[in-house]
Structure 1
Amino acid sequence: MLNGISAAISAIRTLEKKLSVTANNTANVNTQGFKASNASSVEVFPQNLSTAAGAAQIGRGTTLGQISQNYSSGSFEPTSSATDMAVGGTGFFIVKDSEGAEYYTRDGQFNFDKDGRFVNTSGQVVQGWELDPNTGETQGSIKDVTLTSFTSPPAETSHGKTIINLNADAQNRTGGTNALASAWDGDNTAGNHIGDNQYEYNTSIKVYDGIGSTHEITFYFDKGDNASTWEYIVANKPAEDQRLGASGDNLGLLARGTLVFDSSGAISNMAMDTNDGAGNWVAQDVTTDLTNGYFTYRPDFQGAPDGSTQMSIQFDFGTFYNGSQWAHESLSSTQHAAQSNTIYASTNGYGAGDLQSIGTNRDGVITGSYSNGEVLDLFQVAIAKFNNPQALNKIGNNLYSRTTASGDAIPGMPGTNGLGSIIPGALEQSNVDLATEAVKLIMIQRSLQANLSVIRTEDELIGDIIDIIS
């Protein structure tokens, strides 16, 4: 008879634990990244006994089987913070404490602290890969996501693109071979380096040197000796010319050349001679001297004694040499019977910039926007999965630690190898379903009532037997 009481007591003890699990789920219904638990029970090893029909077994009650985690994604709530993240799918963020211990979390409420470390609300540092800002490729192994610089270094200009139309009805203002280059007066003390009546058209681009300072490169054009040819020179301000040996009339004069147009007004041939600043001219050969199909000119605004600061800028007018002939890009310079004008001009390179804002994307890439207009890839957040996530150990503060049963973390980039993607600017909410938890509470309550009834019944029967005996 006491077996019935024991079985009912085991059920009450098990239900008490289930109630604790359900209560914890309900308490964390608003906890970011919380994963609901589910407690299951199993039958206790039964007692063997003999019956008139032969051997039989009678149950001894129940006990707690396991407490499993529901790792399905919760809902995602947008936030006003660009550094908040959520994992859409499988995976955990990886964080480390000051002693190097590694933990895992679904709570992506992150921010940069005063030391530039990307941390969670408990101060552990998020782990990821540093990215090459030029290529976006990862560098080295997983490390602390920490900003060590809040400026964008300058990048030297290496390509200048200018699309122009030159007036087919223009007149030759200088006359003679290389007359435009001969008209340049680099050491004119009044700053009048070329007269307005000595060229038909000019246009300028802005370039950056190795330390991010800006300079102006100007192209001057004059009609050649025939209707299809134009002469040009490339120059910068003589006062800024730091080429070794540059002097006299050649100060600022970088290159000279010709543009030849076909009957449709498209460039059919080009030539360029470069000037070393001392009046020595070198013709560029299309078979050996081009860079990506373009002529180059070489200003120097810094004047390093070894010449290491001399730049090389590609001369791009929308036409390039493809190895056998001059080919045109979708937008290229022309000679039409219309006013000479600049249609498009741009250069690469930029000056130094200060970090203004941080952003993230679905690949977990953290980007920095700088005052110079550049947006650079800085880090990529790592996430990890486990072969047996049910065996992870909860340690509080929305953190898990690995165990022998869970296996080692398998880190990877978001969206690869079965890992989920990052949802930027959002936080994952608890996946607790209140309706499900309410049903569990009702079932636990009814089960408790039923088992208490068993105990009361057993107690009454024992009392009746004692009364009979006595």
Structure 2
Amino acid sequence: MGLFSALNSSVSGMAAQSNTLTAISQNIANSNTTGYKDVEAQFADVVSSASPTSFNGAGVTTNFAYLNSEQGGFSSTNTNTDLAVSGNGFFAVQDAAGNKFLTRDGSFTPDSSGNLVNSAGYTLLGYSLAAGAAGAVANGSAGLVPVNVGSAALTATPTTSGTFSANLPASSTPVVAPANLPSSNTAPVTYTDKTSVVTYNELGTPVTLDIYMTNTGTDGAGNPTWEMSVYNQADAASGGGFPYTNGGVPDTPLATQTLTFDPTTGALTTPSSVAIPIPNSGTGTQTLNLNIAGMTQLDAAYTPTTATVNGNAPSGVTGVSISADGTMSAVYANGATVPIFDIPLGNVPSPDSLVPISGNVWQANALSGDVVYGTPGQGGLGSLKSSTLELSTTDLATQLTNMIQAQSGYEANSKVFQTSSSLLSELVNMLK
């Protein structure tokens, strides 16, 4: 190995240690950057020629390795749109021009348009569930749109189902005259007990239903029977109750049903449910399917045990919640939650081969392989953690130790360069 080779090798060694310091400085500078992954300088020797009797080295070459597969620690926050990935995968984001990238920086907050944007200005992408779809992961990048927390508007849910159960007193006095039953809607009316339930039409308007329960004795087989009659409370007489009229015309009950009970157990035998039309705006039909299977007739006082229905009045969005599988739901003031977006994760066969771009994002390339999107928690992908941020993988103690080693390596190479330079000068002087 000649003096010129020694000079070249020492120069390449100093350059390699300079590259190491570049990587270390980048890591230290981003020690507090959300989702940052360490970059590492890796060395490989270069040999011009070698044999058992001679060796001519050309020094060292440097490659940079991006340790994108490393898992960072977690930090809890008070913002539920702050997201972290526990495991494999990256968030899909785009820049202002619509170019798509991958990132682990989940510091997302709504911008002026309601889109979730992270601290580097990249917009989170997901699949819209506005039409009630079950997600669109199969569509890959084609179905991705900006995730917008303002897309859930004021909404009302019509009442379509409910449950009503009560004990009807077996010792109550039967009403046998048809003209006196609530279904006749003629005052005076005799009934055993009454319950009112608030429902909602398709516009979210409250519609209160008056449910009358009347003991009607027994049927031909000796089974206890009751009449259930339902009216719209808005049509009640001025003092409340009968007769129910609409525009001066007497109402017919919204629903009338005969209930039959087992004379031995007091359990309801028929029917298990009642269909009740709910008055709406006139633009469509709306039916409440009321489950009454839990009704009983026992020798005890009238005791409603369950009277619940679905539906709600118009309600505004108070926030969002994000589950571990990436489902983002709008949370309404009335407590209802409605899924509005699926947030997928993207991954590539070789994450460490992704190309870094300014803003703590990465771009797929031929070495990394194509991006495949999937549901968090499935297919080897990690899960999402809401109100959490992933910390930088940089360990300052390790980086400072590496810096000292790089400094020592640089100084050693410079000594080799100085020694080789001195020997070369001696050789030149000998030839003079």
TM over 0.5: yes
Partner of 1:190: none
Cα contact 2:212–2:230 (8 A) shared by 1: yes
> CA distance change for structure 1 residues 123 and 453 in 2, over 3 Å: closer, same or farther?
closer
Cα contact 1:131–1:379 (8 A) shared by 2: yes
- My pick for the range that moved more, 119-128 or 133-142, is 133-142
Partner of 1:236: 232
Q: Deviations over 1:379-400 (max 9, x none)?
A: 1112211123233222211122
Residue pairs, 1:372-411, within 5 angstroms: 372-411=334-373
2:319 aligned counterpart, secondary structure: strand
Cα contact 1:364–1:380 (8 A) shared by 2: yes
Cα contact 1:165–1:333 (8 A) shared by 2: yes
Aligned partner letter, 1:297: I
Q: Deviations over 1:290-328 (max 9, x none)?
A: xxx6331224242x3xxx5332221321x1xxxxxxxxx
Cα contact 2:207–2:278 (8 A) shared by 1: no
Among candidates 23, 37, 56, match of residue 58 of structure 1 = 56
2:416 aligned counterpart, secondary structure: helix
Partner of 1:412: 374
Percent identical pairs in the alignment equals 27
Deviation at 1:469, TM superposition (A): 4.8
Are 1:450 and 2:412 an aligned pair? yes
Cα contact 2:155–2:316 (8 A) shared by 1: no
Among candidates 155, 161, 164, match of residue 163 of structure 2 = 161
Partner of 2:192: 200
User: C-alpha distance in 2, partners of 1:233/1:178?
Assistant: 14
Cα contact 2:329–2:339 (8 A) shared by 1: yes
> CA distance change for structure 1 residues 194 and 101 in 2, over 3 Å: closer, same or farther?
farther
1:408 aligned counterpart, secondary structure: coil
Partner of 2:265: 264
Residue pairs, 1:283-294, within 5 angstroms: 294=273
Cα contact 2:46–2:60 (8 A) shared by 1: yes
Partner of 2:114: 116
Are 1:295 and 2:287 an aligned pair? no
Deviation at 1:255, TM superposition (A): 2.3
TM-score (norm 1): 0.81
> CA distance change for structure 1 residues 409 and 466 in 2, over 3 Å: closer, same or farther?
same
Partner of 1:83: 81
Partner of 1:254: 254
Aligned partner letter, 2:42: S
User: C-alpha distance in 1, partners of 2:297/2:392?
Assistant: 67
Aligned partner letter, 2:233: K
User: C-alpha distance in 2, partners of 1:122/1:56?
Assistant: 54
Partner of 1:100: 98
Partner of 1:309: 284
User: C-alpha distance in 2, partners of 1:132/1:194?
Assistant: 51
Q: Deviations over 1:135-165 (max 9, x none)?
A: 7555972222234644342222122311111
User: C-alpha distance in 1, partners of 2:319/2:18?
Assistant: 51
Aligned partner letter, 1:313: L
Residue pairs, 1:186-225, within 5 angstroms: 195=189, 198-225=190-217
1:431 aligned counterpart, secondary structure: coil
Q: Deviations over 1:29-65 (max 9, x none)?
A: 111111001111111132357xxxx653332211213
Deviation at 1:378, TM superposition (A): 0.9
1:116 aligned counterpart, secondary structure: coil
Deviation at 1:20, TM superposition (A): 0.8
User: C-alpha distance in 2, partners of 1:176/1:138?
Assistant: 61
> CA distance change for structure 1 residues 136 and 402 in 2, over 3 Å: closer, same or farther?
closer
Q: Deviations over 1:218-237 (max 9, x none)?
A: 11122213382222211113
Partner of 1:146: 148
Gaps of 5+ in 2: 238-244
Partner of 1:74: 72
Q: Deviations over 1:95-146 (max 9, x none)?
A: 1123221122110011112212122224332111112586755597222223
User: C-alpha distance in 1, partners of 2:386/2:359?
Assistant: 21
Aligned partner letter, 2:393: N
User: C-alpha distance in 2, partners of 1:451/1:83?
Assistant: 50
Partner of 1:171: 173
1:29 aligned counterpart, secondary structure: coil
TM-score (norm 2): 0.88
Q: How many residue pairs get matched?
A: 414
1:455 aligned counterpart, secondary structure: helix
